[in-house]
Amino acid sequence: MKKILFIILLIISGNIYSQNIKTLEKSALRDAKATTTASLAKDPNTLLKYTHPKIFKKYGKSQLLETMEDIFRTMEAQKIKITSSKIDEITEIKKEDKEYRCLVKNTINMDFNGRPVTLKSSLFGFYDKQKSQWYFVESNKLLDDPETKKVFPNFRTDIEIPLDEHIAEN
């Protein structure tokens, strides 16, 4: 009898866990789509909403807004336009360091002054269970950007982070 109850408990807890992961995947997709839509619309306030709190704390709202607006101005001056951005997949969601994390792979199509370029990149997601919201960091910056490494000094993950891939089209 005890064995049967234990097996039933394992099945129930497994179902609850898988339902929770499905809910997290849906919310990761929702929040990643909001982020890519904000990038296309050049909407810095929405981008800030999904910026990791550690980055927000280090730089502050006004500096982050100014940086984003500078990026948008530079892109416009150099005639660089994001023409589309598509979420390709949400990788396996893992619980690491007492939080859920995932990788969001995406494809960004751009026009570099009349020359089409495709960028395969990814966002690294961190889930805030109090807000039921994902925050994102450009995953390549977690690998090789000194400033980002200062914000996340002890960052480690078992999630494989791919390098960005630029594909210039003829």
CATH architecture label of 2-168: Roll (3.10)
Residue 104: how many CB atoms within 10 A of its CB? 24
Query: Do 140 and 148 contact (CB within 8 A), yes or no?
Result: no
- Alpha-carbon distance of 114 to 137, in angstroms, equals 29
**77 vs 105: CA distance, rounded Å:** 28
Residue type, 151: V
**pLDDT digit string, tens, across residues 16-62:** 344 488 899 999 999 999 999 999 999 999 999 999 999 989 999 99
- The residues that bridge with 105 in the sheet, in sequence order, are 89, 122
Task: Judge whether 118 and 169 are in contact, CB under 8 Å.
Answer: yes
Nearest to 28 by CA among 82, 106, 98: 106
Digit-coded pLDDT (tens) for 101-154: 999 999 999 998 899 999 999 999 999 999 999 999 999 999 889 999 999 998
Predicted confidence (pLDDT) per residue in 85-98, tens digit: 999 999 889 999 99
pLDDT score of 16: 39
Domain ranges of the chain: 2-168
Please name which of 27, 32, 68, 30 lies closest in space to residue 48, comparing C-alpha atoms.
Answer: 68
Distance, CA of 114 to CA of 48 (rounded, Å): 30
The pTM (predicted TM-score) of the whole model is 0.84
